[in-house]
Structure 1
Amino acid sequence: MTTYSAKQIADFFLSKGSVSPKKLQKLVYYAYSWAMALLTESENDEPVRIFEEPIEAWVHGPVVATLYDEYRSYGYRDIEKKENISFDFGEDLADVLEQVWSIYGGFSGNQLENLTHSEDPWIEARKGLGPLDSSQNQIKDTTILNFYGSKVS
């Protein structure tokens, strides 16, 4: 499968509507996680990664640092909707992205933060840290695949 950049995945969601940087981070995280769970054919296969950038377990949930840097100037303000962007993700990934938008797109950034805080991948990556401790701990693909994969079966 072709890999993309986290920004390309983010642009897909920004083509759907304006969202806060926090919400965008969580949508990109869920796209990565669900694509891995749904598109990795068997547990013996290499996990499908739709982008290579690491996902870190920050205080407010999963974050791709390059995306944070890209949109940090927005603070708590919404990033404007992007118009006239075309995508060539292939049918399977496009379907996953549409499903992620359909399921999670109606939630606020804070609601998605709370959801990620209740799930094993973020919890495991934050093990031993206080609630406000900064961290660059990476969320492990194996944990993502195990957690979300268990929801698919």
Structure 2
Amino acid sequence: MALHRAIDIANWFVAKCAESGDLITHLKLQKLLYYAEAWTQTLTGKELFSEQIQAWAHGPVVPEVFQEFKKYGWNPLPAPEDQKIPVVSSEAEEILLQVFEAYSDLPAKTLEEMTHRDAPWIKARGDLSSEERCETIMPKAEILDFFRTKYATEM
């Protein structure tokens, strides 16, 4: 699978939400990115994007995507203009559609709570309080191991 830029995957999710008539916040977008990376690694053994994921207070965050969308705060993100909607590989799009179908109807805070129960986020945060600032990277190998184990037990 071709390696994508995290911002392109983010814009794909924003555009997909707009296409379906929904709005998406930055908080929810970050969780969808986390799950998209986890599912891609689990299903293909390859990374979806090269950017790292950090264990922030409200869950996993891709800092480069945060920087791009932080100006919107807690408000819904605007859909990208047609010419800015990224094209992703067919293999990636198949997985992104699955992630979208599995998680897009869930509220952002529910997704946040779900990620807070995942071992990679818990381990990266260590003994920090729930609201304490953290920029510790959640190693992608640990994300892969966690989701492989999780999905193996659910089958």
State the partner residue of 2:4: 4
Q: 1-side partners of 2:120 and 2:36: how far apart?
A: 14
Q: How many Å apart are 1:20 and its aligned residue?
A: 0.3
Q: Could you list the runs of 5+ residues in structure 1 that have no partner in the other structure?
A: 41-47
Cα contact 1:38–1:152 (8 A) shared by 2: no
For 1:103 and 1:140, the matched residues in 2 are separated by: 23
Higher helix share: 2
Q: Which runs of 4+ in 1 moved over 6 A?
A: none
Q: The residue matched to 2:60 in structure 1 has which SS? A: strand
- TM-score (norm: length of structure 2): 0.88
Q: What's the CA shift for 1:86?
A: 5.2
Secondary structure in 2 matching 1:15 = helix
Cα offset, 1:24, TM superposition: 0.6
**Residue equivalent to 1:78:** 76
2:38 aligned residue (14, 27, 33): 33
Structure 2 residue runs of 5 or longer lacking an equivalent are: 18-22
Give 1:87 deviation, angstroms: 4.4
Partner deviation per Cα, 1:73-120 (whole Å, 9 max, x = no partner):
111100022353554433321111000000000112111101100111
Partner of 2:136: 137
Query: In the alignment, which residue of structure 2 is the partner of 1:44?
Result: none
> 1:42-84, CA deviations, whole angstroms, 9 ceiling, x for partnerless residues?
xxxxxx1111111000000000111111111111100022353
TM-score by length of 1: 0.89
**Counterpart residue type for residue 79 of structure 1:** L
Deviations 1:4-58 (A, max 9, x none): 1110100110111231000011111110111011111xxxxxxx11111110000
- Counterpart CA distance in 1 for 2:61 and 2:47 is 16
2:59 and 2:117 mapped to 1: Cα distance?
A: 10
Question: How many angstroms apart in 1 are the aligned matches of 2:128 and 2:85?
Answer: 41
Identity over aligned pairs, percent: 33
Aligned residues: 146
| CA–CA separation in structure 1 for the residues paired with 2:52 and 2:96 | 19
Q: How does 1:12-27 map to 2 (within 5 A)?
A: 12-17=12-17, 18-27=23-32
Aligned partner of 1:99 in structure 2 is 98
| Contact 2:51 2:62 (8 Å CA) reproduced | yes
Partners of 2:66 and 2:139 lie apart in 1 by 19
